[in-house]
């Protein structure tokens, strides 16, 4: 299936890490997308989603390069400074081409520091933080994050496993359990799924969100830069 994705957005602005003078531009710790500032903590992830841009060679959002080797992951201070350097914004969003909760303590530290700016903070996540870290981490989001957007991606485990190729057993049920827990500690929780992917039943996804008492949003696959790729 050919789908177009919203990466490589014109009009983005980014702050590169400061250790790359004279060399090819390094990955950014923060980047601006429309009115929000996005925070790029890591490329690591326990999923290998077929629709993930990085598995199709797409590592940029506008001018912002998001490809990070593990040794290049920005420090907490670097992320905070990069975010602040981008100036005023409507929202801070933890979101890159990896799962931000992989760096759980860094995420909490960045959120706590940016909290003082008085802007909403959103976490875009695969919802697997508690599974990865081996404990219920949802309570630790209380007071630090205003909105958690969780990639539901499919209305059943079989479709999820086909689309997201999890490396950890029990990922689908762990993601649903995290959504239920997050609802207790975070003011706003949204489940999302991509419209237009073969086998994804958006109505059933919305029903799951309703049953969990959280919001649902179908993520569009609209092209912003004209590039497209085939989801294998």
CA pair distance 64, 30, nearest whole angstrom: 8
Query: Which residue number, 5 or 111, has a Cβ lying nearer to ligand SF4?
Result: 5
Q: How far is the CB of 33 from ligand SF4 (least distance, A)?
A: 16
Report, in Å, the least distance between residue 97 CB and ligand SF4. 5
Binding stretches for ligand SF4 (CB under 6 A): 45, 47-49, 52, 97-99, 126, 151
Contacts of 212 (CB under 8 A, 6+ apart): 176, 179, 180, 183, 191
Helices marked H in the chain — which ranges?
Answer: 76-85, 104-115, 129-133, 157-164, 171-185, 202-212
Cβ closest to ligand SF4, residue 62 vs residue 127: 127
Q: Smallest distance from the beta carbon of 152 to ligand SF4, in angstroms?
A: 11
218 beta partners: 193
CB of 37 or CB of 197, closer to ligand SF4: 197
Residue 102 beta carbon to ligand SF4: minimum distance, rounded to whole angstroms? 9
CB nearer ligand SF4, residue 18 or residue 220: 220
* C-alpha 183, offset from chain centre: 18
Alpha carbons 48 and 67: distance in angstroms, whole number? 15
């Amino acid at each position: 299936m050919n789908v177009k994705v919203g990466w490589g957005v014109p009009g983005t602005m980014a702050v590169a890490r400061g250790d790359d003078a004279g060399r090819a531009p390094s990955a950014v710790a923060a980047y601006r997308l429309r009115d929000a500032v996005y925070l790029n903590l890591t490329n690591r992830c326990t999923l290998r989603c077929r629709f993930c841009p990085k598995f199709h060679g797409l590592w940029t959002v506008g001018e912002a390069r998001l490809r990070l080797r593990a040794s290049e992951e920005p420090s907490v201070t670097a992320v905070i400074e990069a975010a602040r350097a981008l100036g005023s914004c409507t929202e801070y969003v933890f979101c890159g081409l990896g799962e931000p909760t992989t760096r759980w303590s860094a995420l909490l530290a960045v959120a706590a520091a940016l909290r003082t700016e008085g802007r909403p903070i959103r976490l875009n996540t695969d919802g697997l933080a508690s599974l990865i870290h081996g404990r219920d981490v949802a309570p630790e989001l209380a007071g630090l994050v205003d909105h958690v957007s969780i990639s539901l991606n499919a209305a059943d485990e079989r479709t999820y496993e086909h689309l997201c190729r999890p490396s950890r057993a029990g990922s689908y049920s762990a993601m649903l359990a995290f959504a239920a827990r997050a609802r207790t500690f975070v003011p706003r929780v949204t489940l999302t799924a991509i419209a237009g992917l073969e086998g994804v039943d958006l109505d059933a996804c919305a029903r799951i969100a309703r049953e969990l008492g959280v919001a649902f949003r179908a993520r569009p696959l609209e092209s912003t830069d004209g590039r497209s790729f085939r989801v294998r």
